Structure 1
Amino acid sequence: MRWLRKKRVLLLLLISFLSLLFLTSNWMSLLYPIHYKDEIRKHASYYDVDPFLVASIIRVETNFKPGKESKKGALGIMQLMPDTANWAMEMAKLPASSLDNVKHEVDVNIQLGTWYIRNLYQQMDGNPIAAIAAYNAGPGNVKNWLSKGTWDGSYENVKSIPFGETRHYVQRVIYYYNQYTSIYDEF
């Protein structure tokens, strides 16, 4: 009889916890948190980029873990290649920063990455899906696919992207973008 009472208490606690979790207005934010909101908001506003897009790219790239370096050499929370980071600092006329800062300083990395997203958006004639693909595969590849008709730049035809990694990348970024925009009322 005692074990039955323990099970009832545990069941009651579990139901209470789940009820509390579901009754709170923003419980999904526990599953889909956005870290570094201030930095993302600041740079997204300055460069006129959707902050949810920046957060989605960061989520896919590093899951908000700073100081990462990929096997290919991409740096920091937004996984910028060193040549891209140096080029972005020069083109955006940003103060020169060491690649070590790009790798470890979240604010510097988000600023460069957000500027780069804006640049890709402009290069892709305002097509956000093509800009996401270009963030992963490079603008040259994406322009080539678009000009040859390999891919039309739409999310509906993302399966036409020749690189499997980029196809999957675009799908994941859009998945997180949709989650963030449905969970968070504002950024």
Structure 2
Amino acid sequence: MKGAFSGRRRWWMVLLLVLLITVFAIMQTKWVARWMYPLYYYDDIRAEASQYDLDPLLVAAVARVESSFAEDRVSKVGAVGLMQLMPDTARWIVQQPGAPRVSPDDLKNPKVSLAMGTWYLNYLIHRFQGNEVAAVAAYNAGPNRVQEWLQAGKWDGTLDGADRIPVGETRHFVQRVFFMFDRYKEIY
């Protein structure tokens, strides 16, 4: 009796091991990765990003973290659309030279949100002399606030130093955006 139980137990252990190896192998496929980290609106994102020579995957990471690609999302503070722009920021954007000529009242339209959000991200990257990490922080906290942190030495503007960003929401936003950016670069 004991020998039969040991044989059955060994068979279940082998079956469990094979199952675990199979699950692990499936988890390593791009199909599963694309399911876990979907990328919606990619053609629109790529078109907008190409206008400013931005990496479309960075724009996609911002959209993913901001709204999970929900075009009609409105935050508790009133940020709207895929790129979660504040209406006041959108109204400011359309007054700037070279900004997209779209209606700031139409932020729930994915094309409008992507056009304005991508333009704004590009503006911030230039304002922070090419520092994408500082630009992403400014996208969340506002450029003047981030400039103050940098000038006061509260934060060094790097991803490695992101744990020193004084505002938790912005710190986590930066970390999540660059986590998604890295995942997207691996997958797409």
Q: TM-score, normalised by structure 1?
A: 0.84
Deviation at 1:95, TM superposition (A): 2.2
Residue 68 of structure 1 aligns to which amino acid in structure 2?
R
1:27 Cα shift?
A: 2.9
SS at match of 2:51: helix
- Counterpart of 1:67 in structure 2 is 72
Aligned residue number for residue 129 of structure 2? 125
| Residue in structure 1 matched with residue 163 of structure 2 by the alignment | 159
Match of 1:4 in 2: none
CA 18–154 in structure 1, closer or farther in 2 if over 3 Å, else same: same
RMSD across aligned C-alpha pairs, in angstroms?
A: 2.3
Kindly state the Cα deviation for residue 25 of structure 1 after the two structures are TM-superposed: 4.6
- Going from structure 1 to structure 2, the CA distance change for 1:77 and 1:24 (only over 3 Å counts) comes to same
With a CA cutoff of 8 Å and minimum separation of 6, indicate the structure with the bigger relative contact order: 1
Q: What CA deviation, in whole Å up to 9, does each residue of 1:46-95 have, x standing for no partner?
A: 12111111110111111011111111111111000011111111213432
Between the two proteins, the alignment pairs up a number of residues equal to 173
Q: Identity over aligned residues, as a percent?
A: 44
Q: Which residue is equivalent to 1:114?
A: 118
Shift of 1:143: 0.5
The range that moved more, 90-99 or 69-78, is 90-99
Return 5+ residue gaps in structure 1 as ranges: 1-7
The 5 Å alignment of 1:1-187 reads: 18=23, 21=26, 25-91=30-96, 92-99=98-105, 101-102=106-107, 104-184=108-188
| Cα distance change, pair 60–19 in 1 and its aligned pair in 2 (3 A) | closer
**CA distance in 1 between partners of 2:102 and 2:27 (Å):** 47
Unaligned runs of 5+ in 2: 1-11
Instruction: Provide the TM-score with structure 2 as the length reference.
Output: 0.84
Superposition deviation, residue 26 in structure 1: 3.7
